[in-house]
Amino acid sequence: MKTAEIKRRFLAHFAANGHTVVPSAPLPAIDDPNLLFINAGMVQFVPFFLGQRTPPYDRAASVQKCIRTPDIDEVGKTSRHGTFFQMNGNFSFGDYFKAGAIPLAWELSTKPVSEGGFGLDADRIWATVYLDDDEAIEIWHKTVGLPLDRIVRRGKRDNYWSMGIPGPAGPCSELYYDRGPAYGPEGGPDVDEDRFLEFWNLVFMQYEIADVTSKEDFRVVRELPSKNIDTGMGLERIASILQGVDNLYEIDEVRPILALAAELTGKEYGAKSGHVAGESHPDDVRLRVIADHVRTALMLIGDGVTPSNEGRGYVLRRIMRRAIRAMRLLGWQEPALPLLLPVARDCMAPSYPELATDFDRISQYAYAEEDAFLSTLRAGTTILDTAISTAKQQGSPTLSGDQAFQLHDTYGFPIDLTLEIAAEQGLTVDADGFRRLMADQRARAKADAKARKTGHADLSSYRSALDAGGPVEFTGYHEVTRESR
């Protein structure tokens, strides 16, 4: 079943059950200062859940475009993490609760394909519930008929949702699909989350919490007067199950990008890997990273993000650079995006036609970014390679802060790239030394600016900035994130 068809069936199922279909919000989370990108379907409905606004419907369904940069290091190494993905979701605002949400999810998952469902084998589905959520267990077992030995109780870390702040919270229940012994050991989601693939999370917003010190430490104040449902089903994950492929990089919306990258670099994808993602050959992991990141770049630029040195633009820049570097590591030295991006567009345009109409603009940004990065790489790589081999010859496990700074300062070589390349060679970088030099440089720039303003060099401010310099925290590319569930 094609991904676009899965999406259509999801929305049709919930529309037939009284839900209003709501379009995806754009990827940049412009209304939320704590979040760079939308990372779950519920984000656009937060004001409804918090009671700040009255929803114009009491049931909604959507397919939300999501970005999760915290998952970036998992991409390609697990079967199930993309930096971009789509979250199918159904929502109840004070309308149905657990007894509605669980059977609705079960029905769509197991209804035969010929009747509009996904036709999953009911015997392979497992559910997790929060420790003391006997109500959910009762519904899974008595109403739905799931045997007790496939219902797993889990603690707060896995099965309790909150926004990490005082407000609504509640237990959740997740659906897992057992992909069989080829993918890992027996024993359920507690043993292996790759064989047992999480595909749907049902959140039961039923309490108000306060005194929150962490995701696992808070006080329940009261039951909410109106209880809400927020669910998220990973579209790519269910697609990987229904298309019988090993991971979400092999589904119809992603695989063609991967296939072209493999063809260009002369790699035979999958020849050296089995079904278990964690044991994949590094070349296969790189091909998946390329496919994922090229698609993510397309979706981000499509939603108005452009490469830059901060915030959202920097996340995009970093993702594009990782894709380009992975192509180089596989042996492709030429610009790759003019070949790969149109394929990504063709994969996604059936669901997002604006990507085709807007492609001239999107591709201009993408190709210019790649050209600039390739020049940077050409300039910096030789220097870095020399530094690395010198360090190795001297038996030193560390590149000096000075070398990292020079690469940054003279060649525009980003520190995260230096760190990444050094790590690939088994070396570390003196990040403290690098930070000190960066702080010095910033202080100099400030003093210069002041001198320009006042007409003479104000050395005192330079001195004090230097003295106060201390360690300036290098936060790199890490996004401001808030786990949304």
User: Helix 359-393 crosses helix 282-302 at what angle (to 10 degrees)?
Assistant: 140
CB of 345 vs ligand ATP, minimal distance in Å: 20
Rounded distance, CA 308 to CA 314, Å? 5
Note whether 26 and 35 are within 8 A (CB): no
- Residues in the interface with ligand ATP (CB under 6 A) total 17
**Rule CB under 5 A: which of 170-199 touch Mg ion?**
198
SS3 127: strand
85 binds, among ligand ATP, Mg ion, none (CB under 5 to 8 A by kind): ligand ATP
Q: Cα-Cα-Cα-Cα dihedral of 11, 138, 179, 172, to 10°?
A: 60
357 CB-contact burial (10 Å; exposed 0-12 / middle 13-18 / buried 19+): exposed
Q: Report the residue number whose CB is nearest to ligand ATP.
A: 234
Amino acid at 116: G
Residue type, 385: D
Task: Give me the half-sphere count of Cα atoms (radius 13 Å) on the Cβ side of residue 278.
Answer: 7
Our CB check for ligand ATP shows the closer of 231 and 265 to be 231
Q: Which is nearer to ligand ATP, 236 or 283 (CB)?
A: 236
199 binding partner (options Mg ion, ligand ATP, none; Cβ < 5 to 8 Å by kind): ligand ATP
For the chain, give me the number of helices (H) and strands (E)?
A: 16, 11
Asked if 44 touches ligand ATP (CB under 6 A), the answer is: no
Write out the binding residues for Mg ion, residues 353-412 only, by CB under 5 A: none
Phi, psi of 425 (to 5 degrees): -95, 10
- Give φ, ψ of 40 to 5 degrees: -165, 160
Toward ligand ATP, which CB reaches closer, 251 or 439? 251
Q: How far is the CB of 198 from Mg ion (least distance, A)?
A: 5
Binding flag, residue 351, Mg ion (CB under 5 A) = no
Q: How far is the CB of 84 from ligand ATP (least distance, A)?
A: 8
Measured from the CB atom, the residue of 76 and 302 that comes closer to ligand ATP is: 76
Q: Which does 14 bind (CB under 5 to 8 A by kind): Mg ion, ligand ATP, none?
A: none
CA distance 185 to 188: 8
Alpha-carbon gap, residue 340 to 219, rounded angstroms: 50
Q: Which is nearer to ligand ATP, 45 or 413 (CB)?
A: 45
* Partner that binds at residue 421, options Mg ion, ligand ATP, none, CB closer than 5 to 8 Å by kind: none
What is the nearest approach in angstroms of ligand ATP to the Cβ of residue 253?
12
Are 35 and 43 within 8 A, CB to CB? yes
Residue 87 interacts with ligand ATP (CB under 6 A): yes or no: yes
Calculate the alpha carbon distances from 33 to 28, 54, 116, 305, 314 in Å.
11, 22, 40, 16, 17
Q: Which two tokens stand for residue 413?
A: 């070589």
Closest CB to Mg ion among 183 and 269? 183
Q: For residue 185, which amino acid is it?
A: P
Among ligand ATP, Mg ion, none, partner that 236 touches (CB below 5 to 8 angstroms by kind): ligand ATP
Shortest reach from residue 1's CB to Mg ion, in Å:
23
Give the closest residue to 359 by CA, choosing from 290, 302, 308, 317: 302
Select 194 or 370, whichever has its Cβ closest to ligand ATP. 194
Q: Which amino acid is at 305?
A: V
Residue 201 in contact with Mg ion, rule: CB under 5 A = yes
Q: How far is the CB of 416 from ligand ATP (least distance, A)?
A: 20
Residue 76 binding: pick among Mg ion, ligand ATP, none (C-beta 5-8 Å cut-off by kind): none
Residue choice 71, 420, 440, 458 for contact with ligand ATP (CB under 6 A): 71
Q: Which of residues 194-233 bind ligand ATP (CB under 6 A)?
A: 198-201, 232-233
Interface positions, 232-261, toward ligand ATP (CB under 6 A): 232-234, 236-237
Site for ligand ATP contains 98 (CB under 6 A): no
* 82 interacts with ligand ATP by CB under 6 A: yes
Return the SS3 of 124. Answer: helix
- Tell me the two tokens of residue 207: 């309490």
Tokens linked to 228: 């809400």
* Cβ proximity to ligand ATP, 85 vs 411, nearer residue: 85
Q: Among 6, 1, 108, 30, which Cα is nearest to 351's?
A: 6
Return the structure tokens found at 263: 């063809």
Instruction: Output the smallest distance, CB 14 to ligand ATP, in A.
Output: 16
Gap between the Cα atoms of 398 and 33, Å rounded? 37
Looking at beta carbons only, is 44 or 83 nearer to Mg ion? 83
- Under the binding rule (CB under 6 A), the answer on residue 68 touching ligand ATP is yes
Closer residue to Mg ion (CB): 163 or 341? 163
Please, what is the minimum distance in Å from the beta carbon of residue 411 to ligand ATP? 33
Q: Minimal CB distance to Mg ion: which residue?
A: 201
- In which element (H, E) is residue 328 found? helix 311-329
Q: Which residues bind ligand ATP (CB under 6 A)?
A: 68, 71, 80-82, 85, 87, 198-201, 232-234, 236-237, 485
- The residues that touch Mg ion, with contacts defined as CB under 5 A, are 198, 201
